[in-house]
Amino acid sequence: MSLTRPLTLIVLLALLAIYLLRAPTPPQELRQSRLLLGTVVEIAALGPDQARLEAAVNNAFAEIARIEALMTPHQPQSDVSRLSAASDEATVASETAEVIALGLQVAAASDGALDLTLGRVKALWAIESETPRIPSSEELAEALEETGPAALQLDGRQVRKAAPQLAVDLGAVAKGYAVDRAVAVLRAAGVTQASVNAGGDIFLLGDHGGRPWRIGIQHPRNDQQVAATLLVADQAVVTSGDYERFFERDGVRYHHIFDPKTGRPGDRCQSASVVAPSAALADALSTAVFVLGPEAGLALVEKFPGALALVIDAAGGRHLSPGLQERIEWP
């Protein structure tokens, strides 16, 4: 009896065993969510080692909590609270200074459509509370005194206010910045594919199994539909919309995105979605674009390399940056 065929089979089986031992472990997906930044934050990470993924995700959540503690207006020892309470100036952490610097840059580029000093206006409306109200014109005029792009001056970590009564609100940038910091932690841990979603402020790290991530943009008037789907890899997507936090009175919708010129909710858009290299930039730009409206908003986005926008105007019309056309799918 010839031994050639059995020997050949044994060799093939040995080679197959060596291949299987050396073949890369298929990636697993770990998905966790926690309540942070006043919203549900979800992190999904892909990788071959579940234990390493879990440690990286836990550290990313811890970093978000650290940034929140620095920039929340609801804790008396946060940088934002100390700055708002200061009569003229305060020293802040380097991360807070970075957020303020970006906010001031977008404020200047948008002619004040983004304003970091609307804390008193936000408090007057109390839209995020159980008892929202419509402030009088006199109240709004007083709350808007001394606000604007020049109301804060930044020198390193030193922040100077134009007036003692100014209340700082970094909400239009800080949430995106916290997402970016979480992504940085994941990268440092060797994670190459992940998504961090903080209530609509999203960063997509790498791709999703060799294909772009598919991000649905909510229809602003029908929460059961998407207005569009964006194909994104290694970029951020942030949407500002009048459907996120609002109340209605006498048929009028009052939402949380204020026009700094009037102190009233912006009325030129239903939503503004921005794709950008960082979530902090996308966060800041989406707010400014929402306030400015489609024409001026898209012109603003063009000033920032790598940024693109989809804007749904007040009547429901859709406007988008030319570079977004090949990366969008319509329902």
Provide the CATH number for the domain formed by 28-72+174-329 in this structure: 3.10.520.10
Q: How confident is the model at residue 255 (pLDDT cuts 50, 70, 90)?
A: very high
| Predicted pLDDT at 1 | 42
Domain borders along the chain are: 28-72+174-329, 79-161
Collect all residues with Cβ–Cβ distance below 8 Å to 190 and sequence separation of at least 6.
Answer: 47, 52, 56
**pTM, entire model:** 0.91
Contact assessment for residue 102 and residue 284, using Cβ atoms and an 8 Å cutoff: yes
Residue 48 has pLDDT above 80, yes or no: yes
CATH architecture of the domain 79-161 equals: Orthogonal Bundle (1.10)
Q: How confident is the model at residue 244 (pLDDT cuts 50, 70, 90)?
A: confident
Among 113-117, 143-147, 168-172, 248-252, where is mean pLDDT lowest? Answer: 248-252
| Predicted pLDDT at 213 | 96
How much of the chain exceeds pLDDT 90, in percent?
88
**pLDDT tens by residue, 262-308:** 999 999 999 999 999 999 999 999 999 999 999 999 999 999 999 99
| Predicted pLDDT at 117 | 97
Q: Which residues of 58-76 are buried (b: 16+ CB within 10 A; e: fewer)?
A: eebbebbeebbebbbbeee
Query: What is the C-alpha to C-alpha distance for residues 297 and 105, in angstroms, rounded to an integer?
Result: 15
Q: Where are the beta strands (DSSP E) in 118-171?
A: 152-155, 158-161
